[in-house]
């Protein structure tokens, strides 16, 4: 079993915990309180700016074979995901420009930026977001919400193109020469931050 596959195996119970979280359940059912999703959009908008910085920091360290992958990931995050948030925010009245980081967002972004000081460790730390959202999107798309705004969010992360981006990170992890114990620790820490991020 590859290292990335092992991380996915140990991370799946934490994905299941996310599926049980009230915020995720509300998205899945299409009846999440709009104020909750508005707050989540604001926090995730701030998160994604730092997530772009994480990819950029890793790109600086990347072997030539994966420099383009990380530049692509930074570009997709900065343009595609942030554009989605701006568009959704218009329908929920989110104040993206006036938002400030809450404790969960600040803790998660600090963890990722610190982990990205090391190429292999940074990849393991960020994989919960890429793989986790791809997995959540795929599972939620099996019975998608009827509410179109929440359906759009699900469709974005269920998209095969997003799964392909997550697959690129998996390949980089497997080729990084990461210490398995360190990668597992950072990955599980990232998964715990993912779960805490839904507490908005």
Question: What is the average pLDDT across 33-50?
Answer: 97
User: Do you know the residue count of the chain?
Assistant: 200
Percent of the chain with pLDDT over 70: 100
Give the CATH number of the domain where residue 59 resides.
1.20.910.10
122 CB contacts (<8 Å, ≥6 apart)? 54, 57, 58, 61, 112, 115, 116
* pLDDT over 90 (residue 200): no
Domain region containing 193: 3-198
SS (H, E, C) the chain: CCHHHHHHHHHHHHHHHHHHCHHHHHHHHCCCCHHHHHHHHHHHHHHHHHHHHHHHHHHHHCCHHHHHHHHHHHHHHHHHHHHHHHHHHHHHCCCCCCCCCCHHHHHHHHHHHHHCCCHHHHHHHHHHHHHHHHHHHHHHCCCCCCCHHHHHHHHHHHCHHHHHHHHHHHHHHHHCCCCHHHHHHHHHHHHHHHHHHCCC
- This model's pTM is above 0.85: yes
Q: In the predicted model, what is the mean pLDDT of the chain?
A: 96
For 102, phi and psi rounded to 5 degrees? Answer: -85, 175
Specify the number of domains making up the chain. Answer: 1
């Amino acid at each position: 079993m590859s290292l990335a596959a092992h991380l996915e195996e140990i991370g799946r119970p934490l994905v299941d915990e996310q599926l049980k979280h009230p915020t995720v359940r509300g998205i899945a059912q299409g009846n999440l309180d709009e104020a909750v999703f508005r707050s989540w959009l604001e926090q995730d908008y701030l998160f994604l700016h730092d997530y772009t910085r994480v990819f950029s920091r890793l790109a600086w360290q990347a072997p030539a074979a994966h420099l383009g992958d990380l530049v692509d990931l930074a570009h997709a995050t900065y343009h595609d995901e942030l554009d989605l948030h701006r568009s959704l925010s218009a329908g929920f009245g989110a104040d993206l420009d006036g938002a400030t980081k809450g404790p969960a967002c600040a803790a998660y972004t600090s963890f990722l930026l610190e982990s990205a000081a090391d190429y292999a460790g940074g990849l393991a730390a960020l994989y919960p977001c890429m793989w986790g959202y791809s997995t959540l999107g795929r599972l939620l798309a099996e019975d998608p919400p009827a509410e179109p705004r929440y359906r759009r969010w699900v469709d974005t992360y269920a998209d095969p193109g997003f799964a392909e981006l997550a697959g690129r990170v998996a390949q980089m992890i497997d080729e990084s020469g990461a210490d398995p114990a360190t990668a597992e620790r950072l990955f599980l820490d990232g998964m715990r931050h993912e779960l805490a991020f839904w507490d908005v």
